[in-house]
Amino acid sequence: MADGRSLKQIDLIPVPAHYELTSREEAIVLLAVVCLRAHEECFPEVDQQLLPGFRRLRFDAIAGIRVTNLKTILHFVNERMLKPITLSVLSKTLARAGMQLPRSHRQQSAITLLP
């Protein structure tokens, strides 16, 4: 530094990278949230007095969701999308949104919501 001091260490705190979802990815995430019955927690009204009917995805609430059955969500999403998606696209999109996914696609049984 200009005053003679030197920098010896920088401690970095890991945080999730900000990722802007495309409109298609946002639709996939919203359908997954509806499938998981977490609509009210993850897609609440912003302010009923100021903006009645306006809703916004809450990625902090989405990050609290633990998905254990991707195939159920895939089936639900594909029934409602114009163009079907693959399991890979679904898992990558949900991971980008911050959802906690199963470690293995073979160990899928139920869907739970973390406290």
Q: What is the pLDDT of residues 87-97, one digit of tens each?
A: 999 999 999 99
0.85 exceeded by the pTM?
no
Q: Give the model confidence (pLDDT) of 9-19 as tens digits.
A: 887 776 655 56
Give yes or no for a contact between 64 and 85, defined as CB atoms under 8 angstroms apart.
no
Q: Residue 106: is it exposed, middle or buried by C-beta count within 10 angstroms (0-12/13-18/19+)? A: exposed
Tokens 């009204």 correspond to 45
